[in-house]
Structure 1
Amino acid sequence: MGLIVQKYGGSSVADTDRVKRVAERIVRRKRAGNQIVAVVSALGDTTDELIELAKKITDDPPKREYDMLISTGEQVSVSLLAMAINELGEDVISLTGSQIGIITNDLHAKAKILKVNPERLEQELTQDKIVIVAGFQGVTFDNEITTLGRGGSDTTGVAVATALGADLCEIYTDVDGVYTADPRVVKSACKLNEVSYEEMLEFASLGAEVLHPRSVEIAKEYGIEMVVKSSFYCCPGTYIKEVGELEKDIVVTGVTCNGDTVKLSLIGVPDEPGIASRIFTGLAEDGINVDMIIQNVDYDGLNDITFTIDKEDLDHAKINLKGLQGELGYTELIYDTEVTKVSIVGAGMVTNPGVAAKMFEALADEDINIDLISTSEIKVSCLINEERADQAVKVIHDKFNLERLCDSNV
C-alpha cells in the first residue's frame, strides 16, 4: 500500500461533472490499495469571482478580510468532492487548512507555510478514510486565516506530502506535463518526461504556470518526488525530481515567457550608501518580490535604479515607493507594464559557455530589442516589449533546436 497525495486544480473541478470524475479517479486509486489525501482548489473561476466581488466594494480591501473572503472557495470544493466520493461508497472526510494544522506566517494573501501538524491527517487515514483537504489556505499561530497566493494549492499538496512522508505527490491540472515551451505558442514544443527540481523552480518562477514556485522549493528541500499530470487524459506526465549527471548534458531544457511583469525606474536616486537597501527592504516588508535589478552609472551624484516586479504588486509598490520619496530623495518614479520576460532554463548551462550569446543572437536576428538581462547558473532572462513575446519564444526554441527533445529520454 502506498500513501499518495494528489492535488486537483480549479479547472479539474470546474463543475459538478468534473467533480464526479475526480471522485471516480480518487476512488480507483484507493481501491487499488493506496491511502489517498487529495488537496483541492476552488471550483473553476470561483476565486476570480470572489475577487471581483471585493472590487465592487473597494479597490483596496484589507488583506485580512481579503483572505477571509477568498479562502471560502476551497471549502465549497472540498465538501462537494467529499459528497461525490461518499456517493461512490467510500468513507471520506473533508477538512480545511486550519483543521489539518497548516500553520503559516502572517503575510496575508502571500503567506508561507511554517509547518503542518499531521496528527489529524494520520488519525483519519488510520480509519481508512479518503481525506480531502482545502488547498491555498492556512492559519497563523493567532488563528487568523491566511491564503498562500495564486497557485498556492500546489504548495499545500507538497507540504502535506512532506508532513506525511508520502510516497508521491501528484499534481493534476489542465495540461499533461511540462513542455519545452508553451505549446499554444510553439507548435513543436515537446513534453518532458523528467525535469530537475532546480529547472522546475526556474520554470515556475519565470512564468510557466504549471507549478507554484514554493511547492518546488519544498519538494526539493525534503526530497518529495512530484509528477504533473492531466486530470482529463491518461498519460505519464512529467516527473520532478533529482536528476543524474547524464541529464545535465542537455544545455537548455525550455523557454518560458512571463507577461505578468512590470518595469519600474526610480530616477535621480542619490548615490549614497544604504539607499538601495532602504528601497528593497521596504518592498520586501510588503511581500513584494523583486527580480531584475540594474543601476546606471553615476551622474552628478545621482543614479537611476530599474527593477521588475509582478503586475499584481504594482499598486502596492507605487504606494510604498512614493511614501519613501521624501526620505530617499529621488526625483521621479516611472513604470512600464508593456513588457515581457523571456527566459531559457537548463541544468547544463553551468558547464557550457556561449549559451547567453546564442539567445541574444536569436533575438538580434529578429530585431528584438533587449531592455534588461538577468542570469543565474541555469537560466538567462531578457526583458523585451510584450508585442514581440510570442515571436521571441519561437525563435529561441528554434535556435536551441528544442524540438529534438521529443525524441530524447528527458
Structure 2
Amino acid sequence: MLVVQKYGGSSVADAERIFNVAGRIAECYDQGNDVVVVLSAQGDTTDDLIAKAAEIDPNASKREMDMLLSTGEQQSVALMAMALNKMGYAAVSLNAMQVGISTTSEYSNAKIKLISRGRIEQELERKNIVIVTGFQGINKYEDITTLGRGGSDTSAVAIAAALRADKCEIYTDVNGVYTADPRVVKDARKIDEISYSEMAELASLGAKVLHTRSVEIAQKYNVELVVRSSLTREEGTVIKGENSVEKILVSGVASDKDVARVTIEGIDDKPGKAFEVFALFDKKKISVDIIIQSIGRGGTNDISFTIEKSSLKNVIQLLEEYKEKLGAKKITFDDKIAKVSIVGAGMATHSGVASLMFEALYDAGVNIKMISTSEIKISVLIDEKDEESALIAIHDKFQLAMQSLRQN
C-alpha cells in the first residue's frame, strides 16, 4: 500500500514533536507500506520569516518572498529525514525542484500544473521513506513559487493523486473536522465522515482544517482523505464522495472575519454594467464572493459584493479610478463585518433550514446585512462583534433540530 501523510507546522514545531511524528511515520512503514511524507514549516517559522523580510523591505517583491518562505519547509524535511535516519530508517528529503512540482508563474499563490513521479518512485523502489517539502513548486522560469497559506495540504493531495496513492492522511493539531470551531462552540462535535462538496464549502467559508484547493483536487481525482491529530491516536474525519450516512440538515457552521463589503451606489441601470465592474477585478485577479444587485430605480441601481480584506484598498482605488466611466455616484465599504455560514447536503431535501438559521440569529439579537445561498450553503453577513454569538446560536439551534428529527 502507498500512503501519503502530511504533517502541519504545529506537529513538527520542535525536536520532541519531530521525533513523535517520526515514530508515527516509522510505524506506518513497518506495516509494509511505501510512505511519502509532506511537511509544513515548523511552528511559527513562516511568520518569523515574514517578519524578517519586513525588517528589510515591507514591500519586498513576491518572487523574493517566495524564495525566502520556501526555506521553512526545507528545514522541516531535512530535520525529519535526520530523525528517521537516527532511528535506523532509510529516509531522504526532497524539495520541489528535486521532485518536479511544476506550477503556474503567479508568485505567492501559484497553482500546481504537474508533478513528476520519477524521482519519488525511484526513492520508493530503494525502500526509502520520502520526505517532501509542502507549500512550494517551480514555475517555467525555474523560480520557486509558493501555493498560498495552507498550501502544504494541496501539495500532499496533489502528490497522492499523481502517485495514485491508496490513502492520503492529513495530520494536524486537531482530532478531525468539527461541526464548528471547538474553541468558540464548546459542544461542537467531531464529524466522522463528510463529503468532498461539504468540506470544500466549509474550507472556503472559514474552517481552517483544510486548504480549499486540496479538497477540490481530492474530489477531482477521487483521493480519499483522513484528517486526524498527530498528537493522539483518536480516529479522525474521513472525507470522500457522497456521505454514506443519512444526510443531515447541517454538517457544519463556519465563520470568517477576513471579509469586507463594497457597494457601488447609483450605477447606470444599463446592460453590461455589471460585466464592466467585475471584468476590472478579473484583470487584477481579485476574487469576489457574495454579489447582490438592487432593483433599478430612476435609471440607476446599486451593486454590493464581498471581497477579502486584503483586497479592499486595491478595490476602492480601482473603483474610484473608474467611477466616472461606470456612471457611479458613490463608492462605500464596510470592513467591520463577518460572514457566518451553514453547510449541509441535507439542505436539498429538508425544507425550513433557512428559517431555522434566521430564527437563531433573531433569538441572539443579530442583524443580517446580506444573504447568499446555494444548494448546500447559506451565508449571511453580520457585524463582526456578533460573530461568536451568532456561531453559537446557529450551532445550538441545529443541534436541537437534529435531536428532534432523531426522536421522530
- Which TM class, normalised by the smaller chain length? over 0.9
Partner of 1:262: 260
AA at the equivalent of 2:302: D
Native 8 Å contact 2:249 2:402 kept in 1: no
Alignment of 1:6-405 (within 5 A): 6-244=5-243, 246-248=245-247, 250-401=248-399
Q: CA deviation at 1:300?
A: 3.7
Helix, strand or coil at the partner of 1:374: strand
Unaligned 5+ segments in structure 2 are none
Higher mean displacement: 155-164 or 45-54: 45-54
Distance 1:356 1:76, change over 3 A: same
Distance 1:146 1:167, change over 3 A: same
Distance 1:264 1:53, change over 3 A: farther
Q: CA deviation at 1:301?
A: 3.0
Q: CA deviation at 1:404?
A: 5.8
Q: CA deviation at 1:403?
A: 9.4
Supply the distance in 1 between the matched residues of 2:200 and 2:121 (Cα, whole angstroms).
Answer: 29
Q: CA deviation at 1:270?
A: 2.7
Q: Deviations over 1:69-118 (max 9, x none)?
A: 22221111111111111111111111112221111112221111112111
Native 8 Å contact 1:254 1:402 kept in 2: no
Native 8 Å contact 2:195 2:243 kept in 1: no
Q: CA deviation at 1:58?
A: 3.6
Q: CA deviation at 1:246?
A: 4.5
Supply the distance in 2 between the matched residues of 1:80 and 1:23 (Cα, whole angstroms).
Answer: 10
Supply the distance in 2 between the matched residues of 1:58 and 1:294 (Cα, whole angstroms).
Answer: 39
Supply the distance in 1 between the matched residues of 2:311 and 2:71 (Cα, whole angstroms).
Answer: 23
Q: CA deviation at 1:244?
A: 4.7
Distance 1:245 1:404, change over 3 A: same
Supply the distance in 2 between the matched residues of 1:403 and 1:218 (Cα, whole angstroms).
Answer: 33
Native 8 Å contact 1:103 1:140 kept in 2: yes
The number of aligned residues is 404
Distance 1:282 1:261, change over 3 A: same
Q: CA deviation at 1:11?
A: 0.8
AA at the equivalent of 2:366: I
Q: CA deviation at 1:282?
A: 2.8
Native 8 Å contact 1:110 1:287 kept in 2: no
Higher mean displacement: 200-209 or 395-404: 395-404
AA at the equivalent of 1:395: A
Supply the distance in 2 between the matched residues of 1:276 and 1:79 (Cα, whole angstroms).
Answer: 51
Supply the distance in 2 between the matched residues of 1:95 and 1:320 (Cα, whole angstroms).
Answer: 42
Supply the distance in 1 between the matched residues of 2:296 and 2:57 (Cα, whole angstroms).
Answer: 42
Percent sequence identity is 52
AA at the equivalent of 1:89: G
Helix, strand or coil at the partner of 2:213: helix
Native 8 Å contact 1:180 1:402 kept in 2: no
Native 8 Å contact 1:107 1:287 kept in 2: no
Supply the distance in 2 between the matched residues of 1:118 and 1:262 (Cα, whole angstroms).
Answer: 42
AA at the equivalent of 1:360: F
Supply the distance in 1 between the matched residues of 2:198 and 2:353 (Cα, whole angstroms).
Answer: 16
Higher mean displacement: 271-280 or 42-51: 271-280
AA at the equivalent of 2:286: I
Q: Deviations over 1:262-301 (max 9, x none)?
A: 1122233333333322322332333322111112233443
Supply the distance in 2 between the matched residues of 1:333 and 1:149 (Cα, whole angstroms).
Answer: 30
Helix, strand or coil at the partner of 2:378: strand
Higher mean displacement: 252-261 or 317-326: 317-326
Helix, strand or coil at the partner of 1:344: strand
Supply the distance in 2 between the matched residues of 1:317 and 1:98 (Cα, whole angstroms).
Answer: 35
Q: CA deviation at 1:48?
A: 1.2
Native 8 Å contact 2:193 2:243 kept in 1: no
Supply the distance in 1 between the matched residues of 2:401 and 2:110 (Cα, whole angstroms).
Answer: 38
Unaligned 5+ segments in structure 1 are none
RMSD value, Cα = 1.9
AA at the equivalent of 2:69: I
Q: CA deviation at 1:17?
A: 1.7
AA at the equivalent of 2:19: K
Q: CA deviation at 1:323?
A: 4.3
Native 8 Å contact 1:139 1:145 kept in 2: yes
Distance 1:123 1:403, change over 3 A: farther
AA at the equivalent of 1:182: D
AA at the equivalent of 2:173: D
Distance 1:114 1:330, change over 3 A: same
Helix, strand or coil at the partner of 1:86: helix
AA at the equivalent of 2:112: I
AA at the equivalent of 2:39: V
Supply the distance in 2 between the matched residues of 1:161 and 1:355 (Cα, whole angstroms).
Answer: 36
Higher mean displacement: 351-360 or 292-301: 292-301
Distance 1:336 1:54, change over 3 A: farther
Q: CA deviation at 1:322?
A: 4.0
